[in-house]
Structure formats: structure tokens, C-alpha cells
A = this chain, B = another copy of it.
């Protein structure tokens, strides 16, 4: 164990639905795993999403963004719920999340889709197809159609009303996400697949050209290109063909969710959103699940594993991260399951969010 003492400021954004429950567990795990490695935290809990709308009238209060910016890393639960679904865009919980991503310039969204051997039967796909799947989707997160201008409503040349958005990528935006993706592929299986729609869209042709340019700096990475429609099929047909995938914001939104559903255990999957400097944003890929909120039924693993990503990618604290990854694995091996990953007839123990958290803490302890 390390003897130096490091201290970090972490912004906690519990958010809506099951967010508070899972962040609470992750905070405890982060604290324990950190303490075993000589790490101390200063936690700042702030408002975002529906919770912020209800209290402060906006989905991302200025104070939340400034505290987040000044911290070393940000851990988010989830945002959104039926209550705010009909709000206008400016007042949607989602808008708070988009403002946070943009405010922190976390342009690289890392979404691992990993099949846990213990949970392989939970996949809707056949065992032989998903066993061993380990994909990293690198999604561009602060550009493209999500943020492009012009956007809005208007009237076209025939006098008809229209709604419109702009898909746009600059050289800098493609270059920096490609760079992150090549570096990640280098550390993983050495294979990068860039997904686009270059047979139809200029924005995609531009993307492909810049990715090809960047590839020259990474001769050791095997680069391929795939159209997004084909990628959505290949992920199902033969997911093991993929190592690292890089794609734009909207295609990444769709494909990363598809990839995670293939694993069958969306309650297990973390994500990291990183910029070139400043704090990273770490969050489970699942949503706020308002139907089970406050019932102690949520699976905290995705958020706990997001905390591990926070340690590894956000703080460079690999050892503490490793402790958490191992503890989650150990807890699964000991048979503890929340409802979403529980299957009857095997040697499993159905527990709630809190108890699963306690079991993870025990695993962290015993792995010293």
C-alpha cells in the first residue's frame, strides 16, 4: 500500500430517479477503496437535472457547473423522469446534462460493453455469440448534431413549417476524438473501427478523411471503417469482431446503447467522459429508472464501476480502481444479485441496492 497521502475534490451529482441511491453506494466504495490507498476526498454534492429544476428552476445551476469545473472529477447518477418530460427544451433535465458535458468540454465518451462471465446468460443473444465480448465505444460527446447550429424551427421556401438541426464537425473536433480513440485502441486489442455514413453524408466523409490522416500517427493500430447501418447489424451478428469503436455523437448514442444491451447487463456498465484537461465526468450508462426509484431495487454496480473509471482515468489512481473492479467481480462470484441480473434456479442471492453496496464494501475490505 502506498504511504503518500493524496487528496481530491469530487463533485457528486446524484440527480434524479435511482441516481441518489446508486451514487450513495458509489461514494462509500470510493471512500473505502481510496482510504486503503492513502487517498482522501472532499465531496461536494450538487444539483442537476430534475432535482435542480425543482429547486433552482434550471437543469444546471451555475454553481453546479463552477463547482464541477474546480473539482478533480465529477460522479453523476442519472437524470430525468416523467415529471419533466413535457418541459420545453431549455427546461429539460437532459439539457442540464448536455450543458454539463459542454461546460466541462468532455468530448470523449468511453463506453465499455463488457460481458461479465457470471452474467452471460442474461444476454438476449446466444451464449456463443456474446461470451468474451469486450468492446470499447468511444463516442464524440460535445459536437455533431447535438450542438450544431443553425437549429430550431422555421419556414421553408414553400411556406411550410420545418424543424431542423445541423450535423457539423470541425477538423479539431474529429482530430481530438480520433486521437483519444487511437490511444485507447493501442492499449487494448490494437483494432479501431470508425463508424460513419460516408456514402451519404458530407459530415461523415469529412470525419473519415480526418480519421485516415490521424491513422498515420498510429501505424500499430489496425483501422477499419464501417457504415452505421452495417455496424448496427454487425454488433448483433458477431460482436466479437469489434475491439474499439469510434463514432460521432448521435451514432455513438445509438450504437453504445445497442452494444450495452447485447451484454445483457446494462445495470453493470459504467462510462467516462474526458476532455484534454479539467475534470472528467463519470456516470453509469443506465438511466434514472423512475419506476423503481426510492425502492432500494437499483443495481449500484454501474455507478460503482464508474467510480473505478473515475479513479483510473480521472485521477490516475489505478490501484484503487483495481480494488473496486475486483470487489464487484468478487461480489458477483459470491452470488449477490440485484433483481435486474438475478436468475432463479442457480446459487444466487437476491438483494437490494444497499445490501449489494455492503457486499461490495466487504469485498473491498477482504481484498486488501
> For A200, what are the chain B residues with a Cβ–Cβ distance below 8 Å?
94, 98, 146
A164 beta carbon closer than 8 Å to chain B: yes
CB pair B202–A165 under 8 Å, yes or no, is yes
Closest chain B CB from A235 CB (angstroms): 8
Known contacts: A124-B236, A228-B253, A258-B236. The answer to whether A202 contacts B167 by CB under 8 A is: no
Name the segment of A39-47, A65-73, A259-267, A312-320 touching the other chain. A259-267
Tally A residues with Cβ within 8 Å of B: 60
Interface residues of A in 147-199 (CB under 8 A from B): 148, 151-153, 156, 158, 160-172, 197, 199
> For A167, what are the chain B residues with a Cβ–Cβ distance below 8 Å?
145, 164-167
> For A170, what are the chain B residues with a Cβ–Cβ distance below 8 Å?
156, 158, 160-162
Interface residues of A in 184-228 (CB under 8 A from B): 197, 199-207, 228
Known contacts: A163-B168, A163-B206, A202-B151. The answer to whether A258 contacts B237 by CB under 8 A is: no
A257 to B161, CA, bound (A): 30
- A124 touches which of B129, B153, B199 (Cβ 8 Å): B129
Interface residues of A in 111-126 (CB under 8 A from B): 124-126
A256's nearest neighbour on chain B, judged by CB, is B229
CB pair A206–B94 under 8 Å, yes or no, is no
